[in-house]
A and B are shown apart, each in its own frame.
Chain A
């Protein structure tokens, strides 16, 4: 199904949001990805990815409270939709299937 194919970065972003449960907003997502994935992405790049995922319907977002650290500006919390979960599942299945078919000696 075209459109639900996930890119590598998109997949990581979705998974990170799932990991973060209720605390998935810009800064926390970015920090998590940078720590876990040992990479350094910018907030701008993350924004592009998140907005694209939202456009595809794999994510929803809602505005939350601000705090003093942010100059009182509201956060935007992200949540993975059913469609997003399904896309992740599909991606995982494809990978698992491929993994299972790789001859064992090739992996040594």
Chain B
């Protein structure tokens, strides 16, 4: 065998060498190689050859890159543009399929891009954001658990101000979520920020009215957002208006939504020494040990780096560790740049809006997947048209087009497509924005419903990139076509291998569609089984009313006298919605404690809700023993505390740091206070508490007849007791449904996505079916002449589709199963439908959709009179 020079190096040389020089230089190199081969042996000859090739990399030999120059030569560009429009016009159906497929993907991507863009551009308006930090706590528990906490002790602000000369200005914030206020007679739940005087030195929000800095100094003054102002004072000047609590609006600033990670409706100056109902609480909450409510933001001087700041914070943390009473963990402080807060690493106790970094990645992969799917359509249809296009490209090549010009032409064509798709997508986007905002419900801060110029530029740039990506594969393929092979009759072989790629792409598309449809069916199934759950109490005809603490007892007695009212119960939280909070209980005869959920009810609870007890008695009246409280527990709590079921009644529990004893008088069935969207049933304790410290609302059971009349009378009664008491009753059923809004939103989001993804795949299927039917018209004609019936022909054309469907079902189903097992199915305590059934539903649904589309397309061709198609033969 003849020994040749190293091929790789030869190819490399060919790639970079000027074409005019290549022949002679390669000849010289080869001659020398062969000479060396004889004199020095193979190894040495090859080494010399490689060395020589590498030394050829010099300006006099290397060719100059010409692609860019060619692509942007204007006259050529104009021709390419013209050709693109002609092609678009000539194949109207294919163009429409491509454009709508891409448009669907681009619409969704626009939403995702909007979220990403908005998320990345928050907190840029504050002065010197590059030096603006939040101090976060790094907790290192003795049992080895480590985590980050966004909040810090309330005492940290003052200590840092004293100890760190590096700090230019520092502000400390305490948020109150679901803070109840009365505005214009409506009881509303607001987010309030309790801040110090420096707040507006650190953060900057546009002033709409008044002077926020001066307003902060006014203790009774509130600073509200323009959004709140618009909602409750639509056509009046909010300045000087007062709230139910007596606070006066003294300034209006812009809403932080989409501008900052902070989330607030009102801002007010914080009280220097907060007053607690129990003086002991002051020691507990205003100490170094308590770090769950306050957030520290600071700006350093320009000369201070983040490392220097972190080093200093480390020193402060060492002091603080000594000051802490609790020794279960060590603390370290760390700074976090303000622009890193929005898409942050996992952090506990966050403030305002922030999304985990994973969310960002999910959005990016979502965009990628959708665009890949849509580009597949483009690629598929281009390949399907390859034979026709091959001749066109061949002619162009014969006429003197270079490779790069062909690439340029195809890319210009796809970019024209993608820009057209972007225009369609943008219209769709505009159409769906209100829907999307409604879907997001809470008005997610990460989405900016107004289209701004930078956002438009992002969209436009994006569409060009999409065009480039979608066109890359076809462009490279077409540019490689040699004019000779384009005119040979047997171009089948090359096209055949392309057809395999095409089939692969179709399978991927259908697999992803399959996956989505299964997830959607499973999600909808889960949501409906949650809503149709058999609760172990009666929820019909119960309304819930938030009342001011001072009015509660009065209103309860007054309501009980209203005809049509069955009972009134003051509850800390509604059954079916949630428990009130968490606490820990020590396991009997053991050192470890168990987290439990608890709720507080009164004696009338069973009158209103008729809860089902597994064993034991209803709460009758308060026990005479002042330290003894009667409670119900669920079976999970008993098993967690290792209390045997038969000896549970009468058992007395004690909650940590509390002298009160809790005696079990009843054992509840499940599904009373449980959240259904938890992986398992949680231990629950329901206390018949006599100390009336907790915020409670009134649950009123109304007879089903004349409900409207009764509600009217209840409102009258409310106003009689207190004119300022708002009357906004909510039906328990609605409250339960609303509390599962999160799931419903996820399902809705998935539905929306799936509709898009499936639409894209169906469009792809449609295109392929169209192409198949068109290219096989003659074959079908002959078959019909020979006696095939419409049914046979459709079956023949369906065969390929059915095979791809089966393959994608086999790949998609296990993937969906794994995903669902990790997500929806492990998320709930409710029994959902049989899992296999859900998956089968998905397969059937998508399968019938695809088959329907294909049949609808092939029907016409199968029906056609063979004389028409064969006439020209």
Q: By the criterion CB–CB under 8 Å, are B60 and A51 in contact?
A: yes
Contacts of A47 in B (CB 8 A): 21, 25, 56, 58, 60-61
Is the CB of B35 closer than 8 A to any CB of chain A? yes
Counting CB contacts under 8 A, is A43 at the interface?
yes
CA distance A67 to B34 in the complex (A): 12
Give Cα distance in the complex from A26 to B22, angstroms: 13
Complex CA–CA separation, A15 to B714 (angstroms): 117
For chain A residues 43-94, which have a beta carbon within 8 Å of chain B? 43-45, 47-48, 51-52, 63, 66-67, 69-71, 73-76
Q: Is A43 within 8 A of B23, CB to CB?
A: no
Which of A25, A26, A30, A51 lies at the interface centre, i.e. has the most chain B CB atoms within 10 A of its CB? A26
Total B residues in contact with A, Cβ cutoff 8 Å:
22
Partner of B31, one of A42, A63, A69: A69
A74 to B23, CA, bound (A): 7
Q: Give residues of chain A (13-36) contacting chain B, Cβ–Cβ below 8 Å.
A: 25-27, 30
Write out, one digit per residue, whether chain B residues 28-50 have a CB within 8 A of any chain A CB (1) or not (0): 11111011000000000000000
* Interchain CB contact under 8 A, B24 and A75: yes
Bits for B54-67, please: 1 = Cβ < 8 Å to A, else 0: 01111111000000
Contact of A44 with B61 in the complex, beta carbons under 8 Å:
yes
A30 to B32, CA, bound (A): 10
Query: A26 with B52: in contact, given A48-B60, A73-B30 (CB under 8 Å)?
Result: no
Select A48's contact among B27, B29, B58, beta carbons within 8 Å. Answer: B58
Q: Who on chain A is nearest to B4 by CB?
A: A71
Is there an interface contact between B24 and A44, defined as CB atoms closer than 8 Å?
no
Q: In the assembled complex, how far is the CB of residue B574 from the closest CB belonging to chain A, in whole angstroms?
A: 84
Most buried by A among B32, B34, B57: B32
> What are the interface flags for B334-364 relative to A under an 8 Å C-beta threshold, 1 for contact and 0 otherwise?
0000000000000000000000000000000
Asked whether B482 is an interface residue with its Cβ less than 8 Å from the other chain, the reply is: no
Does B821 sit at the interface, judged by CB under 8 A?
Answer: no
Contacts A/B (CB < 8 Å), 8 sampled: A42-B56, A47-B58, A47-B61, A48-B60, A52-B60, A66-B27, A69-B30, A71-B27
A108 to chain B, nearest CB (A): 41
Interface residue B51 (Cβ < 8 Å from any Cβ of A): yes
Complex: chain B residue closest to A68, CB-CB: B34
Please judge, given known A-B contacts A73-B23, A74-B24, A75-B24, whether A43 and B56 are in contact too, CB under 8 Å: yes
B-side contacts of A66, CB under 8 Å:
27
A26 and B60 form a contact (CB under 8 A): no
Closest beta carbon of chain A to B57's beta carbon, Å: 8
Residue in contact with B27 in the complex, picked from A30, A42, A75, CB distance below 8 Å:
A75
Chain B residues near A (Cβ < 8 Å): 21, 23-32, 34-35, 51-52, 55-61
* Cα(A26)–Cα(B56), bound, Å: 13
Closest 8 A-B residue pairs measured CB to CB?
A: A73-B27, A26-B28, A42-B55, A70-B27, A44-B56, A44-B55, A76-B24, A70-B31
Given A48-B58, A75-B24, A76-B24, check contact A42 B51 (CB 8 Å): yes
Given A43-B28, A44-B55, list of 9 further CB < 8 A pairs?
A: A26-B24, A26-B25, A43-B56, A45-B55, A47-B60, A52-B60, A63-B24, A70-B30, A73-B24
Partner of A27, one of B32, B51, B56, B57: B32
Residue of A27, A48, A63, A73 with most partner-chain B CB within 10 A: A73
Residues on A with C-beta less than 8 A from B60 are 47-48, 51-52
Tell me if A44 and B30 are in contact (CB < 8 A). Answer: no
Interfacial chain B residues near A63, Cβ < 8 Å: 24
Q: Which residues of A contact B59 (CB under 8 A)?
A: 48
- Select A43's contact among B25, B34, B57, beta carbons within 8 Å: B25
Nearest-neighbour CB distance to chain A for B871, whole angstroms, equals 54
Determine if B55 and A69 form an interchain contact, defined as CB atoms under 8 angstroms apart: no
A45 to B61, CA, bound (A): 10
CB-defined contacts of B61 to chain A, threshold 8 Å: 44, 47-48
List B contacts of A25 (CB < 8 A): 28
Residues of A within 8 A of B56 (CB): 42-44, 47
CA separation between A100 and B56, bound complex, in Å? 41
The residue in chain B whose Cβ has the minimal distance to the Cβ of A46 is: B28
Shortest CB distance A74–B (Å): 6
Is the pair A44, B52 in contact by a Cβ cutoff of 8 Å? yes
How far, in angstroms, from A42 to B24 measured CA to CA in the complex? 15
- Chain A residues contacting B30 (CB-CB under 8 Å) are 69-71, 73
Shortest Cβ distance from residue A30 to the other chain B in the assembled complex, whole angstroms: 7
* Distance in Å: Cβ of B372 to nearest Cβ of chain A: 43
A100-B59 Cα distance, complex, nearest whole Å: 40
CA gap between A96 and B124 in the complex, in Å: 76
Q: From known contacts A27-B35, A30-B32, A69-B34, infer whether A43 and B27 are also in contact, taking CB-CB under 8 Å.
A: no
| CB of B58 to closest CB in A, whole Å | 5
A35–B25 Cα gap in the complex (Å)? 21
- Complex formed: what's the CA distance from A74 to B25 in Å? 9
Option from A43, A69, A71 in Cβ contact (under 8 Å) with B52: A43
Find chain B residues with CB under 8 A from A75 CB: 24, 27-28
* Least CB separation from B56: chain A residue: A44
Given contacts A43-B52, A43-B56, A47-B60, contact A74 B28 (CB under 8 A): no
CB-based nearest A residue for B60: A48
CB distance from B32 to the nearest CB of A (A): 5
Q: Shortest CB–CB separation between residue A26 and chain B, in angstroms?
A: 4
Chain B residues within an 8 Å CB radius of A44: 52, 55-58, 61
A17 to chain B, nearest CB (A): 15
Cα–Cα distance between A25 and B29 once the two chains are bound (Å): 12
Q: Which residue of A lies closest to B22 (CB)?
A: A73
A70 partner residues in chain B, CB cutoff 8 A: 27-28, 30-31
Query: Complex Cα distance A27/B31, Å?
Result: 7
B799 to chain A, nearest CB (A): 50
**How far does the alpha carbon of A43 sit from the alpha carbon of B24 in the complex, in Å?**
11
Closest to A42 in B: B55
Q: Which residue of A lies closest to B57 (CB)?
A: A44
Interface centre among B30, B31, B57, B60 (most CB of A within 10 A): B31
User: Which B residue sits closest to A55, measured CB to CB?
Assistant: B60
Residues of B within 8 A of A27 (CB): 28, 31-32, 35
Tell me the complex Cα distance, A75–B23, Å: 8
* Bound-state Cα–Cα, A38 to B31, Å: 21
Bound-state CA distance A42–B55 (Å) is 7
Which residue from chain A places its CB closest to the CB of B21 in the assembled complex? A47
Which residues of chain B come closer than 8 Å to A71, judged between CB atoms?
26-27, 30
Query: A12 → chain B, closest Cβ, in Å?
Result: 18
Cα A33 to Cα B32 in complex, Å, equals 14
For residue B13, give the distance in angstroms from its CB to the closest CB of chain A: 10
In chain B, what residue has the closest Cβ to A64? B24
Min C-beta distance of A59 to chain B, whole Å:
14
Expressed in whole angstroms, the minimum distance between the Cβ of B749 and any Cβ of chain A is: 60
Q: Return the contact of B55 from the options A43, A52, A74 (Cβ within 8 A).
A: A43
Q: Which A residues are in CB contact (< 8 Å) with B27?
A: 26, 66, 70-71, 73-75
- Within the complex, the shortest CB–CB distance from B7 to chain A, in Å, comes to 13
A30–B56 alpha-carbon span in the complex (Å): 14
Least Cβ distance of A40 to chain B in Å?
10
- If A48-B60, A74-B23 touch, whether A43 touches B51 (CB-CB below 8 Å) is no
Report A55 CB to chain B, min CB distance, Å: 10
- Alpha-carbon separation in the docked complex, A98 to B34 (Å): 44
Residues on A with C-beta less than 8 A from B29 are 43
A42 in contact with B28 given A47-B60, A47-B61, A48-B58 (CB within 8 Å): no
The CB with the most chain A CB atoms within 10 A, among B23, B27, B34, B61, is that of: B27
Please report the C-alpha to C-alpha distance between residue A75 and residue B30 in the assembled complex, in whole angstroms: 11
Most A CB within 10 A of own CB, among B26, B28, B29, B60 = B28
Task: List residues of chain A with CB within 8 A of the CB of B21.
Answer: 47
Distance in angstroms between the alpha carbons of A45 and B57 in the assembled complex:
10
Q: Which residues of B contact A42 (CB under 8 A)?
A: 51-52, 55-56
